[in-house]
Amino acid sequence: MPFPTQIHPVAGSVAEAGADLAVVAVRAGAEGPEPVAGPPGALPDGLDARLPAPLAELIAHYELTGRAGETAQFAADLGGGLVRVALLGVGEGTAADLRTAGAALARLAKGRSRAAVPAGLPGPGGDGGTGGDGGEALAAFAEGALLASYRFSLASDPKGPEPVGEIVLACGDGGGEAKPVEAVRRGTALAGAAALARDLINTPSARKDPAWLAGRATEVAARAGLQATVWDEADLEREGFGAILAVGQGSSRPPRLVRLDYAPEGAESHVVLVGKGVTFDTGGLSLKPNDNMKLMKTDMSGAAVVIGAMSALAELGCRTRVTGLLAVAENAVSGSAQRPGDVLTTYGGRTVEVLNTDAEGRLVMADALDYAVAELEPDALVDVATLTGAAKVALGTGTGALFATDDALAGALLEAGDRSGEPLWRMPLTEEYAPTVSSPVADLANIGTSGDYGHPGATEAALFLREFTGGLPWAHLDVAGPGRSMSEQGLLTKGGTGFAARTLLRWLEA
């Protein structure tokens, strides 16, 4: 779904923007909170005389500190009739602060047609968010505002106020409308990648079968200048993708494997992204409880994140060659479903004993990882999946679990997550636990076979996946916790979050 909110710069002051919500930014200064004037003319002359009290007194009255996302509202006539005026905290002007402030503004402005804010939001070095940091601060403001305005609804009469139609950046009288354009474009591209992932995740599974998801990936590829290749069930059978086929064999809607290629001229490195694409997960014959199953339309979040990230690579000018692999299947219950105790053969020829049919995500990704190693020769592999409840137990719903075989790769992803406001925490690939994924009748088992270590589920899953990475630098993002939101807050709306799409893009850019 397209963003309901548009962000763009305009000439003149916030009072001249025709907005029904005028914003004054408040910074957390060294000597206390202080209003941000923005570029010359962005705030109207004689503003204090038009307000219920001088700005400094209003800031003190509402006990504002300038903390990012802090707000206070009152009515005033700025020269064109009575409007709502908001004081908006922007913290110290860092990218993280402005992302939070943008989200707070979008939530505050719901139900209004237009909000106006001075374009000269503070950035590091006092550059207005558009200079020395490459526009990262202002881009983050746009990113936060758009993500918080995201809405997905199939209701005939959606409840609640509509997102604000426009957020305009008042550039004053200095003719500086062009300066923020690039930063806003970048923020929009990053937010758009996450929003695309959210749309795919939030689509009900009655519509979202493997063929549908493959079709959406192909459409995105056509728009984003990517090459798309799709394997149907006959192709998968002929080429030996036994794990994807086994997971999908219980469904009347057969599995798919999708490859998306981005190959910019002069690329000197090649990264493969692998996304888990289980379009609905009943647990198979190892059936999930009903309450757990309600969320399982989101179990293809990893594939959605990869599609979202791939969609924005060209827009952001990424110079890395990137291949996305989407392992897509529906894990259903039927007479043809795989059984606990079955043994399957992966693309790379290894055998896996299936001891729990609800540990299916690692199976479909094993085939994709095998293919990447055998056919693509990448410099690094990164996979994304809503893989284990254990990761959610360990880290909660705000932080993703990161497992990696390469310290430099792990460090780069941790830094990109921090810059994106998508925190990751590196978890151990404990070698002592490795034998637990062995099987007495096959090369591997898809769940831990020993209780000696208390069944560390997230680590067992990561150790299983590592077996298919061919010794390449590899990272595994288990986003089972932050991949879904149960409430509306900050950047998030209820449902799929698209967590890690923006992290992957910032990492790939770097």
Q: Which residues are catalytic?
A: 288, 362
* Buried b or exposed e, range 254-268, using 16+ CB within 10 angstroms: bbbbbbbebeeeeee
DSSP designation for 11: S
Phi-psi region at 225: left, alpha or beta (left = phi > 0; alpha = psi -120 to 50): left
Exposed/middle/buried for 229, CB within 10 Å: 0-12, 13-18, 19+? Answer: middle
Spatial contact of 497 and 384, defined as CB atoms under 8 Å apart: no
Single-letter code of the amino acid located at 130: T
- Tokens representing residue 313 in the block: 């690579």
In angstroms, the CA 361 to CA 473 distance is 21
User: H helices within 226-289, ranges in order?
Assistant: 233-239, 242-248
- Tokens representing residue 482 in the block: 């932050």
Using the Cα atoms of residue 196, residue 202, residue 203 and residue 209 in order, give the sign of their dihedral: positive
In angstroms, the CA 67 to CA 298 distance is 34
In angstroms, the CA 318 to CA 270 distance is 12
- Tokens representing residue 367 in the block: 């085939």
- Indicate the pairing of strand 484-485 with strand 166-170: unpaired
Would you list the DSSP string of 286-335? SPPPHHHHTTGGGTTHHHHHHHHHHHTTTTTT--SEEEEEEEEEEE--ST
Residue 131 host element (H or E)? none
Spatial contact of 368 and 257, defined as CB atoms under 8 Å apart: yes
Residue 268 host element (H or E)? none
In angstroms, the CA 240 to CA 257 distance is 12
Nearest CA among 367, 399, 408, 396 for reference residue 507: 408
Residue 406: CB atoms within 10 A of its CB come to 15
Measured CA to CA in angstroms, residue 10 lies from 80, 175, 179, 278 at distances of 17, 9, 11, 44
Spatial contact of 463 and 104, defined as CB atoms under 8 Å apart: no
